[in-house]
Amino acid sequence: MYQTNMYEGMLSETITIGGHNGHTINAYLARPLGAGPFPGMVLIHHAPGWDEWYRETTRKFAHHGYVTISPNLYFREGHGTPEDIGAKVRAAGGVPDNQVVGDVEGAMHYLRSLPYLNGKVGVLGTCSGGRATFLVACRAKGFDAAVDCWGGRVVMSRQELNPKQPVAPIDYTKDLSCPLLGLFGEEDQSPTPAQVAQHEQELKKYSKSYEFHMYPKAGHGFFYYDRPNYRQEQAVDGWKKVFAFLEKHLSAPVRTPQAVG
């Protein structure tokens, strides 16, 4: 836990990494200053895009001691404001699941190439990024913990499947390769509590390590302080659970206070 007499510094910048099929994409990286070693986190942005909230959250994780990367999953759609690019992707029906998995895997490999990584990498996403988090945790090897925040459409009807999203993520549950934390709201329409329960049954069926928390009086996106669904009490508790879970599974180093005066 941060103490007021601790030194703290961070470096955050846009970088380029190898994504799906070896294509170059850009990403936002934030890391604590110092030799480390630090655990790593990949953040998967939500459907509205690679936006300010994700930059802030990337820095938030660095503040908590994680070298953190947020890949731009919409890089191939051209460049403009995050909203304009997000709108373009919305009109196109999203980006293909295979591409997302490849880009996130590329971000994980980038972290694993860093000399100051402690060898552990987690992944977190919200909204469609929560869905992608579960998908990646099932389909890619190399993650040590996954946090799905209100990922909708993990459970999909046959009618919802399409060439970009040909398989419902829930159907990959048997392949989940790391512990999973899920945060959901009772008032959410996607995923509904019934869909979350269905997902939980599947996790139990395959004896997966997971913990789900269903928050009362919360709906979709209750961490987003700039949206009407923000719920202060639930968000504070949710963040607490996220960092406790990650510290348990990624062995986040305990900061050693260094007196400055």
Partner 1 sequence: MCTMIVTKADISGSGKGQQGWFKLSQANVSFDHPFHAPLEHALNIDFVNEAEGPGARVAVELSAESARKLVEAILAALAQGEASGYLVATESTLRR
**Locate tokens 């990646």: which residue?**
136
Cα separation values, 154 from 5, 97, 145, Å: 44, 12, 18
Residues of this chain, 213-242, that bind partner 1 according to CB under 8 A:
219-221, 227-229
- Residue 169 in contact with partner 1, rule: CB under 8 A: no
d(CA 42, CA 100): 12
8 Å CB contact between 110 and 67:
no
- Residue 115 in contact with partner 1, rule: CB under 8 A: no
- Residue 88 in contact with partner 1, rule: CB under 8 A: yes
- Residue 5 in contact with partner 1, rule: CB under 8 A: no
Residue 106 vs 191, nearer CB to partner 1: 191
d(CA 121, CA 69): 10
Residues of this chain, 123-152, that bind partner 1 according to CB under 8 A:
127-128, 152
Contacting residue, 5, 16, 189, 201, with partner 1 by CB under 8 A: 189
Q: Please state whether the peptide bond connecting residue 169 to the residue before it is cis, i.e. omega within 30 degrees of 0.
A: no
- Residue 170 in contact with partner 1, rule: CB under 8 A: no
- Residue 40 in contact with partner 1, rule: CB under 8 A: no
- Residue 56 in contact with partner 1, rule: CB under 8 A: no
Q: What angle do CA 15, 16, 22 make, to 5 degrees?
A: 160
Q: What are phi and psi of 231, to 5 degrees?
A: -130, 105
Contacts of 141 (CB under 8 A, 6+ apart): 177
Furthest-apart CA pair in the chain: how many Å? 64
Neighbouring C-beta atoms of residue 91, cutoff 10 Å: 8
Contacting residue, 26, 190, 192, 251, with partner 1 by CB under 8 A: 190
Least separation in angstroms between CB 136 and partner 1: 17
- Residue 52 in contact with partner 1, rule: CB under 8 A: no
Neighbouring C-beta atoms of residue 29, cutoff 10 Å: 22
Q: Contacts with partner 1: how many residues (CB under 8 A)?
A: 32
Residue 67 vs 85, nearer CB to partner 1: 85
Helix (H/G/I), strand (E/B), else coil: 126: strand
Contacting residue, 10, 23, 87, 200, with partner 1 by CB under 8 A: 87
The DSSP bridge pattern shows strands 10-18 and 24-32 to be antiparallel
- Residue 192 in contact with partner 1, rule: CB under 8 A: no
Least separation in angstroms between CB 125 and partner 1: 12
- Residue 65 in contact with partner 1, rule: CB under 8 A: no
> Which residues contribute to the site for partner 1 (CB under 8 A)?
47-48, 77-81, 83-91, 93-94, 127-128, 152-153, 160, 162, 189-190, 219-221, 227-229
